[in-house]
A and B are shown apart, each in its own frame.
Chain A
Amino acid sequence: MEFAVEVKNITKKYERFTLSDVSFSVPQGCIMGLIGENGAGKSTIFKAMLNLIKRDGEVLFWGKPMTDKDIEMRERIGVAFDAICFSEVLTVKQVGNIGKYTYKNWDSARFQELVTRFELPEKAEIKTLSKGMKMKLNLAFAMSHNAQLLILDEPTAGLDPIARDELLDLFLEFVQDEEHSILISSHITTDLEKIADYITFINKGKVAFSKEKDALLYQYGIVRCGEKDLAAVKNAGCIAWKKNECNYDVLVEDREAIKRTFPHLVIDNASIDEIMLLTVKGERV
């Protein structure tokens, strides 16, 4: 399997937070969703990958490390942070011109197409755009230079469901030829359930898991049981559990195996939200 990105053991220490030994890989042609609480370290991972902070460990893009001087490699990467990083007095058209003068492979027609598709007013200054429009402009910039990899930090935050759906379709179009890949962080796990092939869950600066989404959704389950069954389920592959008013929710890694062992118990499918919630808030074995 070829990887667009391989993150190997990256570590970054701050006074109050440590990104600890983070490793995951994004296969070429896939979408990897990065999930986690606020402050879990998702944005720090992006910064570490893009050499915006010093860190230990290694990050490989298409098998090669990227240094500050590797300009050609950055031609192949499109980045959108969670807030627009252009001066607010620039216009949409001027942002397009910045791209034209910055990227060798800038595709003005593609930028224009996205600006039209997103209904962005060309002559409007950025400060007059809504949050959603600013994010769309960010994405139009990141997607107009034939990038093979998109690194997107919360691109759908603050957007209405229709706009979000529109962007998700755009991301799916982007990876259709299986040459392009996306690494995307989001709090809106339902978005990732729709588009991601892989999910990496970051919890308190560490990788809690990095798995295929289908494996998560089809294998993980939540056992609803009483105190009497809890001890038995805990010994049979429980990841975390949480006490509710009158029962326990137990996150298990292999719900079919649990079903076979405990046929009398109610076992529901687990959504990514529930997996995340139980992993963060639940008690661990």
Chain B
Amino acid sequence: MRGLVYKDLMTEVHEFKRMAVVLLVFLIGFPVMMYATSDDLSDLYGMPMTMCTVMGMVMINNSFGYDERSGWMQYALTNPISRIQYYHSKFLTHAVNVLCGTVLGLAVGVIIAGVTGQLTFALLGEILATSAGTAFALCLVGIVFIPLMLKFGVQKGAIVTMVSFASVGGISAALVVGLTQINDDLTFIIPIIAVVALGLFITMYFLGRKWVLEKEF
């Protein structure tokens, strides 16, 4: 599996180099622009941090794109790699990407907060907690979109992912609105949401596993 993750990361490093300039312009430009135009600088670090983390999350799309164009998966499966190992390698790559994005975002956030004189121990704790939470959530998101990418390919997979998230979000919002009319206190649905979400993630993981095992080339 090391070879698979190495291959993905090397491909992504190439993509990152291309995107680094854009990111750098944004990371410098956004705080400068906000500093110059707004009096409220309380969230100056938030947006750049989010951008770095999200970039980490979407990097795997590039890796899927290159795999698709080069026919890598079918070749990889002729190497001493099982289909399940291939499947798991994508999650591992995704986790590494999210981690790198989060660490980069964290560094950027701390630097911006420090330069603008906002950095305190309390804020640092808040940033760390937010980053860890975001990273965890993005890793979970991977459990949904990695199987979809493998099943439908990069383009269709991205659309199906967006439609899935929009559907789940829409249904959840409608439910919340409906439930609010019955009962103002919705804390009781938190464990239900957690169980449903867990069920969905487990279902997606096993669906993806089934798709990978059945995939033909």
Query: Is B81 in contact with chain A by the CB < 8 A criterion?
Result: yes
Query: Is A234 in contact with chain B by the CB < 8 A criterion?
Result: no
B residues less than 8 Å from A88 (CB atoms)? 66, 69-70
A87 CB contact (under 8 Å) in B7, B78, B81: B7
B residues less than 8 Å from A75 (CB atoms)? 80
Q: In the bound complex, how far is the Cα of B81 from the Cα of A72, in angstroms?
A: 9
A residues less than 8 Å from B3 (CB atoms)? 98-103
B residues less than 8 Å from A69 (CB atoms)? 82
A52 touches B79 (CB 8 A): no
* A126 closest partner in B (C-beta): B70
B75 CB contact (under 8 Å) in A53, A71, A79, A99: A79
B10 touches A85 (CB 8 A): no
Query: Is B88 in contact with chain A by the CB < 8 A criterion?
Result: no
A102 touches B81 (CB 8 A): yes
Q: In the bound complex, how far is the Cα of B165 from the Cα of A210, in angstroms?
A: 54
B7 touches A79 (CB 8 A): no
Chain A count of residues within 8 A CB distance of the other chain: 33
Query: Is B184 in contact with chain A by the CB < 8 A criterion?
Result: no
**Which residues of chain A from 38 to 65 have any CB-CB distance to chain B below 8 Å in the complex?**
47, 50-54
- With A54-B216, A101-B3, A102-B3 given, is the CB distance from A85 to B74 under 8 Å? yes
Helix, strand, loop or mixed for chain B's interface? helix
Q: In the bound complex, how far is the Cα of B106 from the Cα of A248, in angstroms?
A: 81
- With A68-B83, A98-B3 given, is the CB distance from A50 to B11 under 8 Å? no
Q: In the bound complex, how far is the Cα of B4 from the Cα of A27, in angstroms?
A: 33
Q: Tally inter-chain residue pairs, CB-CB below 8 A.
A: 90
* B73 closest partner in A (C-beta): A85
Question: Interface with B: A89-97, A177-185, A215-223, A262-270, which one?
Answer: A89-97
B213 CB contact (under 8 Å) in A68, A86, A98, A99: A68
A74 touches B83 (CB 8 A): no
B71 touches A87 (CB 8 A): no
A97 touches B6 (CB 8 A): yes
B78 CB contact (under 8 Å) in A54, A74, A94: A74
Q: In the bound complex, how far is the Cα of B79 from the Cα of A77, in angstroms?
A: 8
A84 touches B80 (CB 8 A): no
**Which residues of chain B from 135 to 159 have any CB-CB distance to chain A below 8 Å in the complex?**
none
B residues less than 8 Å from A47 (CB atoms)? 74, 217
- With A88-B66, A98-B6 given, is the CB distance from A83 to B71 under 8 Å? yes
A98 touches B74 (CB 8 A): no
A residues less than 8 Å from B6 (CB atoms)? 97-98, 101
Query: Is A24 in contact with chain B by the CB < 8 A criterion?
Result: no
- With A53-B216, A87-B66, A90-B10 given, is the CB distance from A102 to B72 under 8 Å? no
- With A68-B83, A102-B3 given, is the CB distance from A50 to B78 under 8 Å? yes
A residues less than 8 Å from B217 (CB atoms)? 47, 52-53
Render B181-217 as a binary contact track against A, CB cut-off 8 A, 1 for contact.
0000000000000000000000000000000011011
Query: Is A117 in contact with chain B by the CB < 8 A criterion?
Result: no
Known: A85-B72, A98-B6; 11 extra A-B contacts, CB below 8 A, are: A68-B77, A68-B213, A69-B82, A75-B80, A81-B75, A85-B71, A85-B76, A87-B72, A102-B2, A103-B79, A104-B80
Provide 11 A-B residue pairs closer than 8 Å at the C-beta atoms, listed in order of the A residue.
Answer: A50-B77, A52-B216, A52-B217, A81-B71, A85-B72, A86-B7, A86-B70, A87-B66, A88-B66, A102-B81, A103-B80
- 3 closest cross-chain pairs (CB), A and B: A102-B3, A85-B75, A101-B3
